[in-house]
Amino acid sequence: MHGKKKWYASLGQLLIPLVAMALLILFNLLRDPGFFSIGLATNSSGNRVLTGNIISIIDSASELAIISMGMTLVTAACGGQDISVGAVGAISGAVFVKVLQAMGSISVGSVLLGLLLCCLATILFKLFNGTLVAVFHIQPMIATLILYSCGRSIAYWINGDATPQLNSPIISTIGMTLPGIPVPTPIFAVILVGLLLVLVFRLTTTQLYTQTVGINQGAARLNGIHPTAVKLLSFALLGVCVSVAAVTGVCRLGQLNHKTLLADIEMDAILAVAIGGNSLGGGRFRLSGSILGAYIIQMLTTTLYAMNVAPVNVKAYKAVVIIIIVIAGSPVVKSKLTALWAKFRTGKSDSIRRKEAD
């Protein structure tokens, strides 16, 4: 019994999202077993690629998964959310496109330079948010509202063109698949960002510091942790996440649209953090929870599309399922369930004891 309890405890906040994911999978299996079939096709560039709903889900959720990771860090350190990720994403996309256009030709080198410069620009914009939050102690939602409302206009200024095009095999390689590898490239972007964050947080004391600042700033300061630095770091890392997601989004279609690049992703990202069982008030966090949340949201969308739900109804259905997941993960329901579980366990052990007594 001791072993089982440990198994349950180690899952912790991931229990609800895992159950939600399992239910979605079960629902799809019952509805249409063919939902999970994976095929092999040859795409227009002549590469062999995997196809199927599962691949679509993992591929399409990439941008959301990447941004959710960054959002988790900001949430944990600052106890609030950055609602400007979509708008600043448009700025990163604009910088990326601008650099490639200025270079004249699109080569591996110019793409890397574009990525680097757009990453730096995004970090700067995020540090602007971070300064307002960490130095001036402005509520994160208010501080990030500024770039939320003007970010897409800034993106337009950078390019001065509503939908600039990038036509190159290198761009479609980043947006679709690498030659010889049948897995969509955006999935590797998620893995890379995930690895980067794991390296930063697991190999150093950053995770402990971030959680400490999120739980109690005063106590953190007394223990020699610099809350401002920790908060700024979380915003800088969010900047890295946003720029990678934006470049992925631009490369998918080979064009930049300031209005639609990463549109409304801030809301989905906050939702992914919440579904993943992380407290939106800051403190303890698990990146895996948020990533799981992102895939749940995308799986839900893909399921609704697969069911061919009428376009006007898609958002309403999505909202209903998400409300159920969020309520199931709420502290009230959680404590009720835990109490019920404990009662069930003791009841069981009581009957075992009685049996032994017999």
Partner 1 sequence: MKKFVALFLALVMVLSCTAMALADGDLIKVGIINLDPSESGYRQANVKNLTDTFTKENGYDATFVTAPTADKQLEAARGFITAEVDYILVSAAETTGWDEVLQDAKDAGIKVFLFDRMIECDPDLYTAAVVSDMRQEGETAVAWLESLGLDEYKVLHIQGQLGSAAQIGRSDPLTEKIAADEKWTMVREGTGGDSWDPNEARKIAEAAINAKEDFNIVYAENDGMADGVVAALDAAGITHGVDGDVIIMGFDCNKWALEKLLAGEWNYDGQCSPFQANVIDQMIKTLEAGGEIEGLNELNQIISEEKGFDARTITQEDIDAYGL
Report the 10 Å Cβ neighbour count for 215: 16
Does 105 interact with partner 1 (rule: CB under 8 A)? no
Tell me how far apart the alpha carbons of residues 275 and 242 are, in angstroms, rounded to a whole number: 20
267 binds partner 1 (CB under 8 A): no
Kindly state whether residue 302 participates in binding partner 1, applying the rule CB under 8 A. Answer: yes
Contact 318, 300 (CB under 8 A): yes
Nearer to partner 1, 174 or 233 (CB): 174
Q: How far is the CB of 354 from partner 1 (least distance, A)?
A: 54
- In this complex, which beta carbon is closest to partner 1, that of residue 165 or of residue 204? 165
Distance CA 213, CA 204 (A): 16
Binding residue count for partner 1, defined by CB under 8 A: 44
Count of Cβ atoms closer than 10 Å to residue 308 Cβ: 7
Please, what sign has the CA dihedral across residues 35, 41, 44, 46?
A: positive
**The only residue of 15, 25, 52, 326 in contact with partner 1, by rule CB under 8 A:** 52
Asked if 56 touches partner 1 (CB under 8 A), the answer is yes
* Contact stretch for partner 1 (CB under 8 A) within 3-11, 43-51, 339-347, 348-356: 43-51
Q: Which stretch binds partner 1 (CB under 8 A): 17-25, 233-241, 259-267, 288-296?
A: 259-267
User: Which SS3 state, helix, strand or coil, does residue 201 take?
Assistant: helix
* Residue (of 123, 120, 130) closest to 228 by Cα position: 130
> Cβ 293 to partner 1, closest distance in Å?
18
Pull the structure tokens for residue 164. Answer: 């600039």
Q: How far apart are CA 77 and CA 213, in angstroms?
A: 6
Residue 170 binds to partner 1 (criterion: CB under 8 A): no
Question: In whole angstroms, what is the distance from residue 16 CA to residue 8 CA?
Answer: 12
Nearer CB in complex with partner 1: 141/253: 253
**Is the CB of 10 or the CB of 44 nearer to partner 1?**
44
Contact partners, residue 306, CB within 8 Å, separation at least 6: 28, 32, 35, 53
Q: At its nearest, how many Å lie between partner 1 and the CB of residue 333?
A: 31
Q: Which residues sit at the interface with partner 1, rule CB under 8 A? A: 41-45, 49, 51-53, 56, 60, 152-153, 155-156, 161-163, 165, 172, 175-177, 184, 249, 252-255, 257-260, 263-264, 301-302, 305-306, 308, 310-312, 314
